């Protein structure tokens, strides 16, 4: 690979809003056989809205929503923004929060309104010993509609089931089709619930799906995709994606995502649009073809 053609290639990419942080990434992307993508914020807008809120028996909707919104006001997660916005709109001022802790890929815990509160996935609730059985069937139903279910626990008991819906990026389906047309295997790696992930993947034409993954689970999934198909590029936006971005043969960050993701990546899609991903692949192939 001549330095000049790499400079030309990375320069062209930059004009299109694709930042190659080193020339080596151009070659690595050309060699990739798999494009694995995070779901939330990568294939979807990452601007979910709260669409369902079901209090558990014994809890009032307004109280539970205010507590959930207050805790989530401290979190950077897109789900958190959706919950806080809804709580502010419906319940007004939010109570004070202390002892806030975030567990990437799981959820959050804090003290609020004199109670111990936790929000997160079913796994988060299992970890905390909270029985989700009273609302588990409802959660499955909502996930089957492509919504992401999130549980709220208050003082160790199930307080509510929330669901957020996050629109798929308008260009995502076409981008997946374009990558597949170039012979690439396209996979989705997500921390979200399996049923939700399956519905979203099906609507995008993605066949390989691994769901309910922790940040290290995404790294492991990259390893198994690599063993099955060859070098893997991973595209992600979140704090939870940083380990996978660093471990992938090529890490590609959504430029509008978190700073940690951008810093862990080899390539940055500045606008966040997935058309940039297709252009990056095309450019990497064109540049390397010129060199040979």
- Using CB under 6 A as the criterion, which residues of the chain lie in contact with ligand ADP when the complex forms? 38-41, 72, 75, 77, 79-80, 105-108, 119-121, 148, 150, 190-192, 238, 240
Residue 243 binds which of Mg ion, ligand ADP, none (CB < 5-8 A, kind-dependent): none
Give whichever of 53 and 234 is closer to Mg ion, judged by the CB atom: 234
288: tokens are: 């390397």
Using CB under 5 A, count the residues that bind Mg ion: 5
Is 38 near Mg ion (CB under 5 A)?
yes
Residue 192 binds which of ligand ADP, Mg ion, none (CB < 5-8 A, kind-dependent): ligand ADP
Residue 62 annotated among the catalytic residues of the structure: no
* Beta carbon of residue 216, minimum distance to ligand ADP (angstroms, whole number): 11
Instruction: Give yes or no for a contact between 27 and 11, defined as CB atoms under 8 angstroms apart.
Output: no
Give whichever of 166 and 279 is closer to ligand ADP, judged by the CB atom: 166
SS3 129: coil
What is the signed CA dihedral for 24, 246, 75, 97, rounded to 10 degrees?
-140
How would you classify residue 61: left for phi > 0, otherwise alpha for psi between -120 and 50, otherwise beta? alpha
Is 237 near Mg ion (CB under 5 A)?
yes
- Per CB under 5 A, the list member of 238, 243, 272, 276 interacting with Mg ion is 238
Instruction: Give yes or no for a contact between 230 and 250, defined as CB atoms under 8 angstroms apart.
Output: no
Give whichever of 19 and 118 is closer to ligand ADP, judged by the CB atom: 118
Residue 190 binds which of ligand ADP, Mg ion, none (CB < 5-8 A, kind-dependent): ligand ADP
Residue 257 binds which of ligand ADP, Mg ion, none (CB < 5-8 A, kind-dependent): none
Residue 69 binds which of ligand ADP, Mg ion, none (CB < 5-8 A, kind-dependent): none
Helices then strands (H, E): number in the chain?
Answer: 12, 13
Give whichever of 153 and 242 is closer to Mg ion, judged by the CB atom: 242
Give whichever of 258 and 287 is closer to ligand ADP, judged by the CB atom: 258
- Per CB under 5 A, the list member of 32, 34, 37, 41 interacting with Mg ion is 41
Marked catalytic residue, from 38, 241, 249, 266: 38
The CA R_g of the chain, rounded to the nearest whole Å, is 20
Residues 6+ apart with CB under 8 A from 243: 215, 216, 218, 219, 264
Q: Which residues pair with 54 in a beta bridge?
A: 161
Which residue has the closest beta carbon to ligand ADP? 191
Nearest to 210 by CA among 34, 47, 50: 34
Alpha helices in 16-121 (DSSP H): 24-31, 61-72, 78-91
- Per CB under 5 A, the list member of 10, 30, 40, 75 interacting with Mg ion is 40
Write b or e for each residue in 212-233: b if 16 or more Cβ atoms lie within 10 A of its Cβ, otherwise e: bbbbebbbebbeebbeeeebbb
Enzyme catalytic residues:
38
**Footprint of Mg ion (CB under 5 A):** 38, 40-41, 237-238
């Amino acid at each position: 690979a001549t330095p000049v053609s790499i400079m030309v290639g990375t320069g062209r990419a930059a004009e299109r809003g694709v930042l190659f942080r080193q020339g080596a990434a151009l070659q690595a992307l050309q060699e990739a056989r798999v494009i694995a993508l995070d779901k939330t914020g990568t294939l979807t807008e990452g601007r979910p809205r709260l669409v369902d809120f079901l209090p558990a028996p014994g809890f009032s909707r307004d109280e539970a929503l205010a507590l959930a919104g207050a805790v989530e006001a401290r979190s950077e997660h897109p789900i958190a923004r959706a919950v806080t916005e809804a709580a502010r709109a419906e319940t007004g001022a939010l109570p004070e929060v202390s002892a806030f802790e975030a567990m990437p890929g799981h959820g959050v815990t804090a003290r609020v309104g004199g109670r111990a509160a936790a929000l997160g996935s079913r796994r988060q609730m299992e970890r905390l010993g909270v029985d989700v059985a009273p609302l588990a069937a409802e959660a499955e139903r909502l996930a089957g509609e492509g919504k992401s279910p999130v549980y709220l626990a208050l003082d160790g008991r199930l307080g509510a089931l929330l669901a957020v819906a996050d629109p798929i990026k308008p260009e995502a389906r076409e981008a997946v089709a374009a990558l597949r047309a170039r012979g690439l295997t396209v996979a989705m790696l997500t921390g979200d619930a399996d049923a939700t992930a399956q519905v979203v993947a099906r609507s995008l034409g993605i066949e390989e799906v691994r769901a309910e993954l922790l940040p290290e689970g995404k790294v492991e999934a990259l390893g198994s995709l690599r063993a099955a198909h060859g070098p893997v590029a991973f595209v992600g936006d979140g704090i939870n994606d940083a380990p996978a971005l660093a471990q992938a043969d090529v890490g590609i960050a959504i430029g509008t995502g978190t700073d940690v993701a951008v810093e862990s990546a080899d390539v940055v899609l500045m606008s966040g649009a997935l058309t940039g991903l297709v252009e990056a692949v095309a450019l990497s192939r064109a540049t390397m073809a010129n060199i040979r």
